Amino acid sequence: MIGRLDELDKKYKNRYYFQVTINKYGKEVEPNLLDIKKRIKTFHKISKKIAKERVIWRYDPILLNEKYSNKYHLDSFKYIAKNLKGYTDKVVISFIDLYMKTKRNTKSLNIEEISQDKIKEIAKGLKKIADNNAMEIETCAEKIDLSDIGINHGACIDKKLIEQIIGYEIKVSKDNSRNECECFKSVEVGTYDTCLNGCKYCYATLNTRKANHDSESPFFML
């Protein structure tokens, strides 16, 4: 989308923001993503183009198994945070939810169930790293309350941030689709079964081999 940001600016007059997911999983989890250094470089380009306040880093979903341990996540998070310092003010984390599609696609990964104590242990480490890199850290749609360690519930559709960007107050109610979700009501323009990246944790694509990514297809107009 970088090459078309001028079109967004012209139509929406800078009244938008990006959320960019950057994890550090291997190809067995994120098989078709670009090298992490290229993804970080892309994040830098977006931030320089539209301002760091309007680009949010997402480190999610966090999953645990024999390879991806607590230490692995802390090391990965630290590496990415150091490389994004000065390019964003906020990072959002979440822990994997095993929806039907996700459970099927991650079967080979032997994902372990994450206890509340382990979530808090990891979150404490991530919070310290975020602080050291001048980033506010929030959770996305998590039941657990981490406010005692300085991590609040966040919102992808963030009324406060939107008002800050557009310069005036908006009257909108909360989206009640999930109790844990803090988002406000919005119109979803995405479509299931269209992404070809094949990330194993994805809940939106059932089968990448059958996914439709033809931009001219009427399927995208539904």
pTM: 0.92
Q: Is the pLDDT assigned to residue 101 strictly greater than 60?
A: yes
Contact predicate 195/211, CB 8 Å: yes
pLDDT at residue 194, rounded to an integer: 84
The vertex-135 CA angle with 4 and 16, nearest 5°, equals 25
For residue 74, give the CATH number of its domain: 3.30.750.200
Six token digits for residue 212 = 């439709």
Rounded mean pLDDT, 97-117: 89
Domain contains 149: yes
| Across 48-52, 105-109, 193-197, least confident range | 193-197
Domain contains 212: no
Domain contains 207: no
Six token digits for residue 28 = 């067995």
pLDDT in tens, 166-185: 999 999 999 877 888 999 99
Domain contains 211: no
Rounded mean pLDDT, 46-60: 97
CA dist 164 and 14 (Å) reads: 12
Other Cβ atoms closer than 10 A to 130 = 23
CA dist 109 and 106 (Å) reads: 5
Domain contains 44: yes
- Residue 95: φ, ψ to 5°: -105, 145
Q: Is the pLDDT assigned to residue 216 strictly greater than 90?
A: no
Domain contains 155: yes
Total count of domains within the chain: 1
Q: What are the residues whose beta carbons fall under 8 Å from the beta carbon of 189, sequence distance 6 or more?
A: none
Domain contains 191: no
SS3 call for 174 = strand
SS3 call for 194 = coil
pLDDT at residue 222, rounded to an integer: 45
Q: Is the pLDDT assigned to residue 125 strictly greater than 80?
A: yes
Residue 89 belongs to what domain range? 2-184
Contact predicate 205/195, CB 8 Å: yes
Domain contains 27: yes
| Across 51-65, 177-191, 197-211, least confident range | 197-211
Percent of the chain residues past pLDDT 70, beyond the cut: 94
